Amino acid sequence: MKITVIGSGYVGLVSGACLADVGNDVLCLDLDAAKIAVLRGGGIPIHEPGLDAMVAHNVAAGRLRFTDDVAESVAHGQIQFIAVGTPPDEDGSADLQHVLAAARSIGRHMSDYRVVVDKSTVPVGTADRVRAAIEAELAARGVAVGFSVVSNPEFLKEGAAVEDFMRPDRIIVGASDERAIDAMRALYAPFQRNRDRLMVMDPRSAELTKYAANAMLATRISFMNELALLAERVGADIEQVRVGIGSDPRIGTQFLYAGTGYGGSCFPKDVKALIHTAGQNGRPLEVLRAVERANEAQKRVLVDKVVARFGADLAGRRFALWGLAFKPNTDDMREAPSRAVVEGLVAHGARIVAYDPVAMGEARRVFGDQPGLAYADSALQALEGADALLILTEWKEFRSPDFDRIRELLRQPLIFDGRNMFAPAVVTQAGIEYHGIGRPVGGPDAG
């Protein structure tokens, strides 16, 4: 099947590579000529485990190509995926200018039937706007060409996107005509050989499903973070609470980990967009507003703990920071808690030495020449002479460190664990003071 993917960013590149990997002829379009040059040269502009090998394999096989020629891309695929960015506007709404520009380009160049698929995360009603944009271009040309518009939201987790696409737990298709539904069933058949995971609904319900899913997950995170702060006040351990409530099958175990708040390109943007949609329609989502407020406050909790321990004046203090990406297995720092922590500590006069296994390049781009911030070549190097270690991202390489070595390298044996990676008793037995999120504070125990 010939497929065009408009947009070669995170969603577009993963989708294009995975579709090519099952035998489709995929052409990825991006108007950023520099990005296309990188892709054609074998480079990958994002960090996603397994993606580089998959792209290279399918490019070599001739099933995956890249272009910045709009006419070529529209002519190529009977199925046209729109996978461009929808960044938040100033009022929190999703900015649809790139989605609608892609739709207009399709209408401007199409000469026969096309299935136009909204893969980008878009507000309810976008499928209707995409249809209107294409119809307007066709009318301006004075031609009548059939087409269908489908909502097919992505449910890809950064750091596991290839696996999520190749082995989906559900495939949402919002469509109103059988021709388009049949095309989508044929397209996704290779990804659901053992059981049917494709769910057909109307386009508006499909669009809302994507926002509702991310909003629900964000709600669980913020609820657990607020509960963790209460646990600290009442002397409970949020990890024990998590296990207790997670054993209830009605609740389950996913997204119950307390930490320093959610970040990334999806949850913050989608929560804002859904709040905006609700306000536009006269049905404000008060719970979701509270989720957003709680998350912004949670990003500052680790700074508050440092200030409570050392005082407000951190001049002359140096802190090691492990983890800059908003989650493991990605270099994405959009809305990452590390950004709020760096800003907060520097504002109090502290110096920071940071390390991340993958996101160092992105950090240098994000922070620029941030005063008070330096980078280490390794996790242990960051510790040298630091007053404490702060953990912001739960990378695997941080899970089982040498606590004796940590104690030796730190100026003061002290860990602020923003991801609750360690058992407090293990850390304190190594002679290190421990501060987690919603966990008992542990003083050093020499044994």
Percent of residues in the chain assigned helix, strand, coil, to nearest 5: 45, 15, 40
CA distance linking residue 117 with residue 80, whole number of Å: 6
For residues 132, 137, 140, 146, the Cα torsion angle rounded to the nearest 10 degrees is -80
**Closest C-alpha to 307, from 371, 365, 350, 257:** 350
CB 418 within 8 Å of CB 442 = no
CB 255 within 8 Å of CB 268 = no
CB 190 within 8 Å of CB 20 = no
Q: Which two tokens stand for residue 98?
A: 């790139």
Element (H, E) at 198: strand 198-201
How many C-alpha atoms does 111 have within 13 Å on its Cβ side?
Answer: 5
CA distance linking residue 265 with residue 365, whole number of Å: 16
CA distance linking residue 116 with residue 149, whole number of Å: 5
For 321, the 3-state DSSP assignment is strand
CB 84 within 8 Å of CB 44 = no
CA distance linking residue 150 with residue 181, whole number of Å: 8
CB 421 within 8 Å of CB 216 = no
CA distance linking residue 355 with residue 183, whole number of Å: 47
CA distance linking residue 350 with residue 348, whole number of Å: 6
CA distance linking residue 26 with residue 9, whole number of Å: 15
Question: Which residue type occupies 342?
Answer: V
318 Cα distance to chain centroid = 30
Ramachandran angles phi, psi of 314, nearest 5° = -105, 15
Residue of 84, 266, 306, 383 marked catalytic:
266
Active site residue 266: yes
DSSP output for 327-370: STT----TT-HHHHHHHHHHHTT-EEEEE-SS-HHHHHHHHSS-
**Closest C-alpha to 217, from 270, 161, 177, 141:** 270
Enzyme catalytic residues:
266
